């Protein structure tokens, strides 16, 4: 992607703190109007990169461009990249109106214009009627909305968010993240969001950059990083997966034949360039496995194994099963619990060869 198509361009950036290399030669392009999530475990470098973009840190090497202009050495207040932290950082002695209007007052905007802009923000974030409240009189979700409104009211077209939902309960997190996405799309701003929560990343993002150990392991759409991960780390971090190490023992017109311990599995060839003898790791998501009642009652066709359920967990929208079949324990998600109810004992597991992802040359 060229710089002209990117509102933010990160080019070969490295940042160290003492002997610790927090960011190691990272490059990333962020398109205008997109929602990009930096996803990874604690200490992987995602927050450091966010702070480099905002100007709180300077890179040791490499360049950062915002709207085509190199910003290395540019102070925070000149970058027009407001950052919303996980701590709301609202002024406790100010009302909602005063908190949101704070930046406009610093710019000495006329009072009637301030009032008009604040009212627009109150409407956008569902805060009508709360303008005279103080932060302590509001819920965590309401305070977070005030923080977003304050960041956006000055008119910037870029918004940085560093784990802004981490202080909210589970239900409120879902509600506020839906609000964030709706606001971002309606306003057309470019959003960069830091989180270690896979569900947040998958539900919010146009693109996800998966971080580990100071580097980016994969950049792609939520669908790509979930169903077509580049490596085992991405597959394991973004969601749950069954992993089988094996070897390609046959290549047919449509399929690879892969031997994994005592199991022989057919994998659709589409999109892969493996050859006989290659070591591979198969990645199979729990929802890509069908679990059916009855020992051997569904025949002995390819990718069907008899097994036994060892435990289960009811999660509302699905039932998660752990089952022993072949030489391993499988994790299977049944998304229709209201139709079939619980399964117990002997079952058959059916793998769809088109839903198996293959990592070539990667073993545990």
> What is d(CA 299, CA 234) in angstroms, rounded to the nearest whole number?
35
Domain boundary among 204, 236, 268: 236
Q: In this structure, are 232 and 252 located in the same domain?
A: no
Q: How many domains does the chain have?
A: 2
Q: In this structure, are 221 and 304 located in the same domain?
A: no
For the chain, 364 residues long, give each residue's pLDDT as a single digit of tens: 444 478 999 999 999 999 999 999 999 999 999 999 999 999 999 999 999 999 999 999 999 999 999 999 999 888 888 888 777 778 999 999 999 999 898 888 999 999 999 998 898 888 999 999 999 999 888 888 898 888 888 767 899 999 888 777 888 788 888 888 888 888 888 999 999 999 999 999 999 999 999 999 999 999 999 999 999 999 999 999 999 999 999 999 999 999 998 899 999 999 999 999 999 999 999 999 999 887 655 555 689 989 999 999 998 888 999 999 888 899 999 987 777 778 889 999 999 999 999 999 876 5
Query: CATH code at 351?
Result: 2.40.50.100
Parent domain of 346: 240-360
Q: In this structure, are 187 and 313 located in the same domain?
A: no
Q: In this structure, are 282 and 354 located in the same domain?
A: yes
Q: In this structure, are 232 and 244 located in the same domain?
A: no
Q: How many CB atoms lie within 10 A of CB 268?
A: 15
Q: In this structure, are 197 and 254 located in the same domain?
A: no
Q: How far is CA 119 from CA 45, 113, 125, 300, in A?
A: 37, 10, 10, 66
Q: In this structure, are 64 and 151 located in the same domain?
A: yes
- Using alpha carbons, select from 283, 276, 233, 228 the residue that is nearest to residue 256: 276
Q: How far is CA 262 from CA 171, 258, 359, in A?
A: 44, 11, 19
Q: In this structure, are 227 and 257 located in the same domain?
A: no
Domain boundary among 197, 213, 236: 236
Q: In this structure, are 230 and 345 located in the same domain?
A: no
Domain boundary among 236, 266, 288: 236
What pTM, to 2 d.p., does this model score? Answer: 0.88
Q: In this structure, are 203 and 306 located in the same domain?
A: no
């Amino acid at each position: 992607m060229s710089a002209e198509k990117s509102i933010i361009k990160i080019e070969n950036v490295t940042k160290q703190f003492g002997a610790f290399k927090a960011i190691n030669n990272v490059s990333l392009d962020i398109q205008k109007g997109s929602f990009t999530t930096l996803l990874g475990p604690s200490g992987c470098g995602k927050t450091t990169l966010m702070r480099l973009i905002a100007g709180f840190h300077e890179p040791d090497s490499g360049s950062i461009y915002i709207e085509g202009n190199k910003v290395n050495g540019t102070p925070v207040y000149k970058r027009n990249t407001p950052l919303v932290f996980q701590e709301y950082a609202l002024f406790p002695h100010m009302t909602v109106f005063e908190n949101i209007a704070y930046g406009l007052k610093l710019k000495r905007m006329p009072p009637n214009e301030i009032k008009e802009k604040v009212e627009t923000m109150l409407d956008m974030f569902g805060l009508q009627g709360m303008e005279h409240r103080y932060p302590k009189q509001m819920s965590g979700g309401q305070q977070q909305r005030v923080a977003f409104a304050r960041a956006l009211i000055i008119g910037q077209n870029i918004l940085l968010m560093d784990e802004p939902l981490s202080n909210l309960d589970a239900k409120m997190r879902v509600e506020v993240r839906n609000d964030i996405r709706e606001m971002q799309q309606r306003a057309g701003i470019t959003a960069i969001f830091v989180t270690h929560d896979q569900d947040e990343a998958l539900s919010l993002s146009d693109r996800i950059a998966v971080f580990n150990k100071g580097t980016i392991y994969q950049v792609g759409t939520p669908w790509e990083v979930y169903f077509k991960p580049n490596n085992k780390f991405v597959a394991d971090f973004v969601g749950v997966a069954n992993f089988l190490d094996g070897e390609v023992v046959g290549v047919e017109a449509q399929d690879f034949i892969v031997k994994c311990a005592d199991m022989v599995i057919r994998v659709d060839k589409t999109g892969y360039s493996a050859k006989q003898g290659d070591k591979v790791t198969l990645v199979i998501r729990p929802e890509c496995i069908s679990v059916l009642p009855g020992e051997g009652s569904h025949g002995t066709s390819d990718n069907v194994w008899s097994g036994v359920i060892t435990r289960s967990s009811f999660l509302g929208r699905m039932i998660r099963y752990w089952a022993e079949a072949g030489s391993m324990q499988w994790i299977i998600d049944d998304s229709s619990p209201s139709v079939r109810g619980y399964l117990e004992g002997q079952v058959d597991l059916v793998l769809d060869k088109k839903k198996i992802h293959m990592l070539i040359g990667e073993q545990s």
